[in-house]
Amino acid sequence: METAYIKTPLGTATIIGDEDGISVISVSDDGEISVTIPVVLQEAVSQLNDYFDKKRNDFSFKLNPKGTEFQQKVWNALLDIPYGKTRTYLEQSKILGDVKAIRAVASANGKNPLWIVVPCHRVIGSDGSLTGYAGGLWRKKWLLEHENPTNQQSLF
């Protein structure tokens, strides 16, 4: 596995992957930035930079997240939420075929290893509120505002 650290508007992103795909993208408040980017991570780094520069609203590099079968199913459903749109945890549970699985869906969202690319930040509470986000609610708010197709002052 190769690792790269890049600066983003939301902190330092850590990207981990190999020739089989990107396994982890996470964010932290601090960290050193990579001087050189491993070849297998260059496309992911380029696409993430384009996302933050508002030149890209989807990703095409190969993903290889590690998780249970249920987690994989939840993460794949997240990929269907369009850029600039949100869904509730209840809607996600219905899409996955079991409204009673809402807590399990929320838990799997929280374990999403691919920050931004698998857009768990697009899932909100049934009342429209921002709810749990591993990267911090301020980052979730920033991402939703960044993706908002209309340039209003603030969504939340």
Whether 152 maps to a domain, the answer reads: no
**In the prediction, which pLDDT does 44 show?**
98
Question: Which pLDDT band, with edges at 50, 70 and 90, does 133 fall under?
Answer: confident
Do residue 28 and residue 79 come from a single domain?
A: no
Do residue 47 and residue 75 come from a single domain?
A: no
Do residue 89 and residue 137 come from a single domain?
A: yes
Smallest CA-to-CA distance from 87 within 106, 59, 111 is with 106
For tokens 């209309």, name the residue: 150
pLDDT at 151 over 90: no
- What would the mean pLDDT of 111-122 be, rounded to a whole number? 96
pLDDT at 143 over 80: yes
Do residue 74 and residue 136 come from a single domain?
A: yes
Do residue 75 and residue 139 come from a single domain?
A: yes
Whether 106 maps to a domain, the answer reads: yes
Whether 156 maps to a domain, the answer reads: no
Whether 58 maps to a domain, the answer reads: no
* Active site positions, annotated: 120
Q: How many domains does the chain have?
A: 2
Lowest mean pLDDT among 34-43, 122-131, 147-156: 147-156
Percent of the chain with pLDDT over 90: 83
Q: Which domain does 85 fall in, by range?
A: 69-147
